[in-house]
A and B are shown apart, each in its own frame.
Chain A
Amino acid sequence: MNGRLRDHGSTLLVASLASGFGVLLLQVTGILGAVVLADDTTGSSATVKTMLDVVALVFVAIAVYVAAVTTANTVATIVAGRTRVIALLRLIGSSARTQRATIAREGLVVGLVGAVLGALVGTAAAWGIGAVGVATEQIPAFEYSYWTPVLLVPMVAVVLTTWLSAWTGSRRVLAVRPAEALGSSGEQSAEELGRRTGRTATGVTLIVLGVLALAGGVLVGLVHPAGVLVGVVGGILSFTGVVLVADRIMPAVLRAVGRWFGTTPPARLAAENAVRNPERSTRMTIGLVIGVTLVTMFAVTMETYRDAMYAVMEGQENVEAMLGPVIDGTVAVFSVLVGFSALIAAVGLVNTLSVSVLQRTREIGLLRALGFDRRQVRVMILAEAAALTVAATLTGLVLGFVYGWAGAQAMLGSMTGEPALLAPAVPWVVLAIIVVAAAALTALASLAPARRAGRVSPVVALAVE
């Protein structure tokens, strides 16, 4: 039982992070509302407060979604590791449904604990921020109860999605045959691909529609800034489509990235390992893709906007001094808010890689017996982590650039009065931060598993458990 709960450590962290982030964001919004209310002269603060809440909830939704994908993946990985035990229990008569319900129930408990834990930490952090703000006289003293019903939204969402993700992630339990307790199951055959065609069809439809809308937005944007609204619809549709067909895209990207690493045995095995379970690799990377796409998109749009403004207002004094900090600030705030989802995805990636390396102890022992030296084993794990983060980052950058440019073009194409094409501007600072973060994530994700893998003795390959 102890082992079972330890399995869920990473899920608990993910649930707490999502709930904590959501509650913190809403509490800070609440404080801002209270501050505005304190010197309300126009009576419009209620509207402002509602708008802030809506914006906050969008970010919360992104975080909760990424957390859900991450949790489903973590649970699926745990289930893969428990296959023998599950099969044994099936062999002695336990039904697959019972087994799956147990895992879902574990998810519910973890979700509940995570939601409450996150809410407490998030509220404490918001209180701290408010207190510091008042103490440093950034904001006036305010009246705020630290409780609004809207706080329940992220908490309930976290509980429900964790529960649901545990249920989804444990789907493989149904496929475990009792015989697997007996067989020396070295490797599962690739997961069934058939059932996913429906999802792919929906995804492709959404992408086609979305790209059409995106193109329409760009065209309309040549004559009127309202084109951006059409573009946003296209962006949401097509990106949802991309997420739906990610299980077809990511393995291909991973394969291509894996080829860059060369043909030495560690590099080749790492490339294979990164796609040996396409479903798992997709879920490991998609959260990062979402985060990188959104951050890049926003930064590209804002950077293009900055270039356009400077170009239009050329010669006017102060425009850089006035506009610059506003744009920088907006990009920074947005990046932090979206970057949090990427952090949640990163937790999942670190954990999944670590667990999947543990599950491969025997295979690593075999490689050691056959003549892989310790360094080659470590390089193999490092390259696998690198393939995952590089593939996710690259995909996100490409998508982000396309969306960011389309958005800026749709918004600003008619700015000068006549239709104009804009060159996408490159947000170098944000790019550099993304690359550094990806490198850090690779190192973090592979450090412990690589060290552990390097210590695996070749004797374990010979042991029959």
Chain B
Amino acid sequence: MQITPSDLGLIARAVGLTKRYGSAANPVTALDDVSLGLRRGEFTAIMGPSGSGKSTLMHLLAGLDQATSGQVWLGDTDITELPDAALTVLRRRRIGFVFQSFNLVPTLDVEANILLPFELDGRKPSGIERAWIDELVDALGLRARLRHRPHELSGGQQQRVAIARALATKPDLLFADEPTGNLDSRTGREVLALLADAAKTHGQSIAMVTHDPVAASFADRILYLSDGRIVRDSVRSTPEEISSYMLAMEAAA
């Protein structure tokens, strides 16, 4: 009998993941034979200097892009060879996204943005889901903003809407790429606290890409990438520990 990723308590797993860009003559190796497992219910930060392959790794784990070689599982689903249509349904139902900016559909108001994943699935939220969305809306302080369009919100408010949308479907895994990159540090910390809380109180699995040591300090686990390889796998750390490691890493490079 084969041991499945979820038997190991993993929500996502990658084996021998490699991604090359460019021509065969002049390849850029963005990811170099990376293997990892993300644990269910854990808030994992993926750290590394610019160009180390963080975004690339996230795209592959989320089924947004095709790896050059290697395999990716989401839960027990091998998504490596899934066709586009199946990946789309997977993103709809099992994955949530929070990006650095441009998270929201500009023509839809806040409520419609939050409900979009359900609508795409051709259904209305169930009673339980409705209650959960209400809870999110209140917790994120969006109640008074439901009828507003994204351009009427501040950057921090927009990020909170994106988080509400990403959490609304209770996805298996929430991906966040530099979710605080465009925010001032106080607003950024608020957003990070919300993510950390979702993991702690609701067991939400989160993978967050960042190069900000403060952001990474909110995570339960930190993976360090350098030149397309994982160079360190650490438990929760303080911002100071994280920055000194990052500095050491850059000095070594």
Contacts and interface: CB of A to CB of B under 8 A. Distances in A.
Contacts of A188: 151
A265 B55 CA distance: 28
Contacts of A363: 102, 105-106
Given A187-B150, A370-B91, A370-B97, A457 B65 contact: yes
B53 to A, nearest CB: 14
Given A370-B117, A372-B88, A461 B105 contact: no
B91 A369 contact: yes
B184 interface: no
B194 to A, nearest CB: 19
Contact of A459 (B65, B92, B119, B150): B65
B193 interface: no
Contact of A464 (B88, B119, B181): B181
A368 interface: yes
Interface residues of B, number: 37
Interface string B94-119: 00010111111111100000001101
Q: Interface residue tally of chain A, by bracket?
A: 20 to 34
Contact of B64 (A269, A272, A367, A458): A458
B233 interface: no
Contacts of B103: 366
B120 A187 contact: no
A9 B165 CA distance: 41
B85 interface: yes
B101 A184 contact: yes
Interface string B172-198: 000001100110000000000000000
Contact of B97 (A187, A369, A373): A369
A313 B178 CA distance: 81
A318 interface: no
Contacts of A184: 101-102, 182
A459 B177 CA distance: 11
Contact of B89 (A269, A371, A459): A371
B92 A371 contact: yes
B120 A369 contact: no
**Main SS of the interface on chain A?**
helix
A186 B151 contact: yes
B222 to A, nearest CB: 21
A105 interface: no
A462 B55 contact: yes
A459 B64 contact: yes
Interface in B63-104: 64-65, 84-85, 88-89, 91-93, 97, 99-104
A186 B107 contact: no
A16 B48 CA distance: 55
Contacts of B122: 264
A461 B108 contact: no
B65 A366 contact: no
Nearest to A463: B55
Contact of A272 (B55, B107, B116, B119): B107
A171 interface: no
A373 B122 CA distance: 13
A462 B58 CA distance: 10
A366 B120 contact: no
A273 interface: yes
A224 interface: no
Contact of A462 (B64, B84, B106, B120): B64
A273 B107 contact: yes
A177 interface: no
Contact of B91 (A187, A362, A371): A371
Interface centre among A264, A366, A370 (most CB of B within 10 A): A370
A187 B106 contact: yes
B88 A368 contact: yes
A373 B85 CA distance: 6
A461 B91 CA distance: 14
Given A265-B119, A369-B91, A370-B91, 4 more contacts: A189-B151, A264-B122, A462-B59, A462-B64
Interface of B: 55, 58-59, 64-65, 84-85, 88-89, 91-93, 97, 99-108, 116-117, 119-122, 150-152, 165, 177-178, 181-182
30 contacts: A186-B101, A186-B150, A186-B151, A264-B122, A265-B119, A265-B120, A363-B106, A367-B105, A368-B88, A369-B64, A370-B92, A370-B97, A370-B116, A371-B88, A371-B89, A371-B91, A371-B93, A371-B121, A372-B88, A372-B120, A373-B88, A373-B89, A374-B84, A374-B88, A459-B59, A459-B64, A461-B102, A462-B59, A462-B64, A462-B177
The 6 closest A-B pairs by CB, nearest first: A371-B92, A272-B107, A187-B106, A373-B88, A184-B101, A371-B120
